[in-house]
């Protein structure tokens, strides 16, 4: 049942991505999907591992295409010194490295919605049981705020799906959980949107 729910969530994320991508192209008109920006930044994430609240912090870097699509790399690590209520309150640590794909709708707006998907390798460390590598995918949705042309703030919520957890005292659901995240995004996006004579917005190289 958990595996089925996982694949349904992934399918829903990509379906929503496809639908909104088509809708945004209809609103903005035809435009190129060439390189249009370079961005990097920091993410601050509040989440849970098991029944324990935790704080993750990390960074990301990547390339923007067509003013809307972001493709890059991300990482984060557990910043709190936490113990899991297992055998003798075992100390726990976690790190993640992987790819990041994001899509912003109507990015020329000061506040606009966005979808993100991060996926890659997670590595946990549990006292007494050593290290364990697993697959992590975490879709999220939220809004992005254009503070300056070179500075944006992202606010989003999502869910972390952990798979292939091999610990004796932990399973996939223990390391899966919801999260809330704030991101500080720095970089530059070139080109601009303008209104054409038929009042449709278009991307100008």
Angstrom distance (rounded) from CA 164 to CA 104: 31
* Cβ count within 10 A of residue 57: 14
The β-bridge partners of 184 are 42, 153
Angstrom distance (rounded) from CA 152 to CA 196: 27
pLDDT tens digits for 133-170? Answer: 999 999 999 999 999 999 999 999 999 999 999 988 88
Q: What is the pLDDT of residue 192?
A: 66
Residue located via tokens 């500080």:
184
Topology of the domain comprising 2-29+36-204: Porin (2.40.160)
Q: What is the pLDDT of residue 12?
A: 46
> Which segments within 85-197 are labelled E, that is strand?
90-104, 111-126, 130-148, 151-163, 177-189, 192-195
> Is the pTM value of this prediction over 0.85?
no
């Amino acid at each position: 049942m958990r595996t089925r729910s996982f694949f349904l969530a992934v399918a829903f994320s990509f379906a929503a991505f496809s639908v909104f991508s088509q809708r945004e192209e209809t609103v903005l008109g035809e435009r190129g999907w060439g390189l249009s920006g370079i961005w990097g930044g920091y993410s601050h994430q509040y989440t849970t591992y098991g029944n324990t609240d935790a704080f993750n912090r990390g960074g990301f870097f990547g390339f923007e295409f067509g003013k809307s699509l972001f493709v890059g790399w991300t990482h984060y690590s557990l910043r709190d010194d936490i113990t899991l209520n297992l055998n003798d309150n075992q100390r726990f640590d976690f790190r993640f490295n992987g790819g990041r794909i994001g899509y912003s709708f109507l990015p020329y707006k000061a506040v606009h919605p966005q979808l993100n998907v991060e996926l890659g390798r997670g590595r946990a460390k549990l006292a007494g049981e050593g290290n364990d590598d697993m697959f992590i995918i975490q879709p999220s949705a939220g809004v992005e705020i254009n503070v300056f042309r070179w500075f944006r703030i992202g606010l989003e919520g999502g869910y972390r799906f952990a798979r292939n957890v091999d610990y004796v005292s932990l399973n996939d659901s223990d390391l899966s959980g919801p999260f809330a995240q704030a991101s500080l995004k720095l970089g530059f996006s070139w080109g601009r949107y303008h209104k054409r004579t038929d009042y449709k917005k278009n991307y100008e190289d």
